[in-house]
Amino acid sequence: MGTLYIVATPIGNLEDITLRALRVLKEADAILCEDTRVTNVLLKRHAIHKPLISYHQHSTLQRVQEILQYLREGKNLALVSDAGTPGISDPGNKLIEEVSKELPEVKIVPILGPCALTAIASVAGFSMDAFLFLGFPPTKKGRKTFFEKVAASEYSVVFYESPYRIIKSLEELNGILQDSAAAEKHSIVAGRELTKKFETIYRGTAAEVAKQLKREVPKGEFVIVVERGRG
């Protein structure tokens, strides 16, 4: 039986990859990846030449069966996502569930590394001993409930957002915080393009950060921490 390595890769800066991750990618028989173009940039930078197999959130059952067959044949596979740690708002969990169910003898090994969630937690400056991670806010229905959950949380909350919706999300969050008793006591930290050339860390209330982003026309990906209410 082969081994399935779940390999964290950079969230921007291509130097953010561990020696172990590079060794695993070099030694694997094949690399499962979301977008071959994205993964090829990383592999090229580190002079790694490996067959790539596409595996993403819309992959068919047939693709999963092919992957299971490789593992049965003793092939060692490395799963990467476009950025960061697979399984964190990224494909991986479904495959791992199948592998652990169908081939319990296969070792599933985490190869640690970057993650936007832990990156922002490390610079938040809030108590992050316990926090709630909610992934992306819904894009259509359920947004109000999502931000109410954020505002009501007894823990600091981390969520992800795209540049297209960041201002809208911060304004909606601000509106809900305004209605809550702890409104004055909340502050947020938003990380934009972490580890990249235009990395920016914004601190303030949701309204203040939204106002600043409006002036700048936000580009790049965002990760946000909302400090838990101190009330």
Select the residue whose beta carbon is closest to ligand SAM and give its number.
Answer: 84
- Nearest distance in Å: CB 72, ligand SAM: 28
Q: Does 115 bind ligand SAM (CB under 6 A)?
A: yes
Contact call for residue 91 and ligand SAM (CB under 6 A) = no
Long-range CB contact pairs, 23-27, < 8 A, 24+ = 24/78, 24/111, 25/50, 25/78, 25/80, 26/50, 27/76
Q: Which two tokens stand for residue 55?
A: 């595996």
40-to-35, 36, 59, 64, 191 alpha-carbon distances in Å: 9, 6, 19, 22, 26
- CA 217 to CA 222: how far, in whole Å? 13
Does position 85 interact with ligand SAM (CB under 6 A)? The reply is: yes
Q: Is 34 in the site for ligand SAM (CB under 6 A)?
A: no
200 lines the binding site for ligand SAM (CB under 6 A):
no
Among 4, 7, 12, 25, binds ligand SAM (CB under 6 A): 12
Q: Which of 90, 173, 176, 202 binds ligand SAM (CB under 6 A)?
A: 90
Q: Residues binding ligand SAM: what is the number (CB under 6 A)?
A: 23
Nearer to ligand SAM, 2 or 12 (CB): 12
- Residue 18 in contact with ligand SAM, rule: CB under 6 A: no
Residue 39 in the binding site for ligand SAM (CB under 6 A): no
Residue 186 contacts residue 176 (beta carbons within 8 Å): no
**Angle at the Cα of 119 from the Cα atoms of 142 and 191, rounded to 5 degrees:** 60
With beta carbons less than 8 A apart as the criterion, state whether 142 and 117 touch.
no
83 binds ligand SAM (CB under 6 A): yes
Interface pick for ligand SAM out of 6, 71, 117, 151 (rule CB under 6 A): 117
Residue 3 or 89: the one with the smaller Cβ distance to ligand SAM is 89
Angle between helices 143-152 and 166-179 (to 10 degrees): 60
Among 11, 24, 79, 157, binds ligand SAM (CB under 6 A): 11
Whichever of 116 and 213 has its CB closer to ligand SAM, that residue is: 116
Nearest in space to 15 (alpha carbons), one of 82, 119, 117, 114: 114
**Which amino acid is it at 93?**
N
- Gap between the Cα atoms of 46 and 49, Å rounded: 9
Residue of 18, 180, 195, 200 that binds ligand SAM (CB under 6 A): 195
Tell me if 170 contacts ligand SAM by CB under 6 A: no
Q: Which residues contact ligand SAM by CB under 6 A? A: 11-12, 81, 83-85, 88-90, 115-117, 160-162, 191, 193-196, 221-223
